[in-house]
Amino acid sequence: MVDYIGVSDVQRLVGTQGPGVFIERLAAQIEADYRRWDAFDKSARVASHSAVGVIELMPTSDGELYSFKYVNGHPTNTAAGLLTVTAFGVLADVATGYPLLLSELTVTTALRTAATSAMAARHLARPDSRVMALIGNGAQSEFQAIAFYRLLGIRELRLFDVDGAATAKLAANLADMADMADLRIVRCASTQDACQGADIVTTVTADKRNAVILTPPMVRAGMHLNAVGGDCPGKTELHADVLTMPGARVFVEYSPQSRIEGEIQQMPADFPATELADLLRGRAPGRTSPADITIFDSVGFALEDYSALRFLHQLLQEEDGSLRRRIDLVPRLANPKDLYGGTLAGVARRPALRRAG
């Protein structure tokens, strides 16, 4: 039997500790795994692109556990009442190849993306950052808001989305969070307006195109840019000149993948970008001056899903066993060499044919 986590299970697991604590604990797990970067198999995700979206597989292993995520990105889905992104994943034992956990990852991907954003910002943003512009107020926005409130102490959010209904939704959801009552919400008329006075700018838009959300005039010395929405070829959010502004330094998860899918796909192949693991392990500097412009060019990497799946599996072990759900994904056989006899023999028997006499 294989452990199973559905959407209702994630609701329960998050609900027992609250979204802020959950994201903080998940961020710690992700950082710990990045610090053992050399233990992991690394490859860019396997993508199948179409005119309307993309379907991807994201595998990795540390030699003891293996994980993969199936994820899609279809920006026009919302017009049909469907999610832009859905996902599920598997955690498996390398020694036997047996799956240990099958889990939803739609909600969990939003949690781990926000956790990674805030974890990176703790190492890159100015410590006194308290104001964040949040550009793109769709499905990921609440998670980013919670993460930056909890992990960085953001106390003012400046919101903008081309869809005013999305901003209204975000503002209403944030106003309903009792443990974030001191968070000031400012609804802005444009991206430029939202960036006024911001210490951190998070862009998390969904359109699959080379968008120009941020331009150099909107960016000032000392800002940290958390560019989340650009995550596939042909999809960007920052004007290319932002990446080369004086004092700008770019950080990525996995350089070979980011050069295909991230903001730096706009730049020459030798454009300098520091991998997050080198920053976290002290092999490369982060912010070197209060005037630096730090840019986290985040596209999402398989290690973060590995961390999330392992974290979820650990939470299951901490729970009351009566809440644990399991599915018969793998046959259990008395004789492991007799797959047919142990599964289909009983249902496939037919009455013997009488011989003509």
**Distance (Å, rounded) from C-alpha 115 to C-alpha 23?**
5
**Distance (Å, rounded) from C-alpha 73 to C-alpha 207?**
10
**Distance (Å, rounded) from C-alpha 82 to C-alpha 294?**
34
Q: Are residues 122 and 82 in the same domain?
A: no
The closest of 278, 179, 292 to 225, measured between CA atoms, is 292
Q: Are residues 47 and 20 in the same domain?
A: yes
CB 30 within 8 A of CB 116: yes
* Residue 353 within a domain: no
Catalytic status, residue 41: no
DSSP 100: E
Q: For the chain, where are the E strands, in sequence order?
A: 2-5, 46-49, 54-61, 65-73, 87-93, 99-104, 131-135, 156-160, 184-187, 200-203, 210-214, 224-227, 236-238, 248-252, 274-275, 293-297, 325-327
Instruction: Residue 320: give the domain boundaries.
Output: 2-107+304-331
Strand order in the sheet with 46-49: 46-49, 54-61, 65-73, 87-93, 99-104, 2-5, 325-327
* Residue 342 within a domain: no
**Domain tally, the chain:** 2
Q: Are residues 237 and 271 in the same domain?
A: yes
Q: Are residues 61 and 196 in the same domain?
A: no
**Distance (Å, rounded) from C-alpha 92 to C-alpha 137?**
35
**269 C-beta neighbours (distance < 10 Å), count:** 6
Q: Are residues 70 and 172 in the same domain?
A: no
Compute the half-sphere exposure of residue 285: CA atoms within 13 Å on the CB side of its CA: 5
CB 61 within 8 A of CB 74: no
CB 24 within 8 A of CB 151: yes
What is the rounded end-to-end Cα distance, in angstroms, of the chain?
50
Residue tagged active-site, from 9, 62, 199, 231? 231
* Residue 337 within a domain: no
**272 C-beta neighbours (distance < 10 Å), count:** 9
> Residue 47 belongs to a domain with what CATH number?
3.30.1780.10
**Distance (Å, rounded) from C-alpha 6 to C-alpha 47?**
25
Last residue of a domain, one of 259, 276, 299: 299
User: Is the model's pTM score more than 0.85?
Assistant: yes
Q: Are residues 138 and 261 in the same domain?
A: yes
Q: Are residues 82 and 121 in the same domain?
A: no
* Residue 347 within a domain: no
pLDDT tens track, the chain, 357 positions = 999 999 999 999 999 999 999 999 999 999 999 999 999 999 999 999 999 999 999 999 999 999 999 999 998 999 999 999 999 999 999 999 999 999 999 999 999 999 999 999 999 999 999 999 999 999 999 999 999 999 999 999 999 999 999 999 999 999 999 999 999 999 999 999 999 999 999 999 977 677 889 999 999 999 999 999 877 788 899 999 999 999 999 999 999 999 999 999 999 999 999 999 999 999 999 999 999 999 999 999 999 999 999 999 999 999 888 899 999 999 999 999 999 999 999 886 666 555 554
Q: Are residues 294 and 311 in the same domain?
A: no
Q: Are residues 279 and 230 in the same domain?
A: yes
**Distance (Å, rounded) from C-alpha 357 to C-alpha 350?**
21
> Residue 263 belongs to a domain with what CATH number?
3.40.50.720
Task: Output the pLDDT for position 346.
Answer: 82
* Residue 355 within a domain: no
* Residue 357 within a domain: no
Last residue of a domain, one of 282, 299, 316: 299
**Distance (Å, rounded) from C-alpha 113 to C-alpha 13?**
17
Nearby residues of 199 by Cβ (< 8 Å), 6 or more positions away: 125, 126, 128, 129, 130, 131, 132, 222, 223, 224
Q: Are residues 141 and 288 in the same domain?
A: yes
3-state SS, 284-299, equals CCCCCCCCCEEEEECC
* Residue 79 within a domain: yes
| One-letter identity of residue 355 | R
Residue 231: phi and psi, rounded to 5, are -145, 25
Q: Are residues 249 and 322 in the same domain?
A: no
* Residue 141 within a domain: yes
Q: Are residues 181 and 288 in the same domain?
A: yes
Nearby residues of 19 by Cβ (< 8 Å), 6 or more positions away: 111, 143, 146
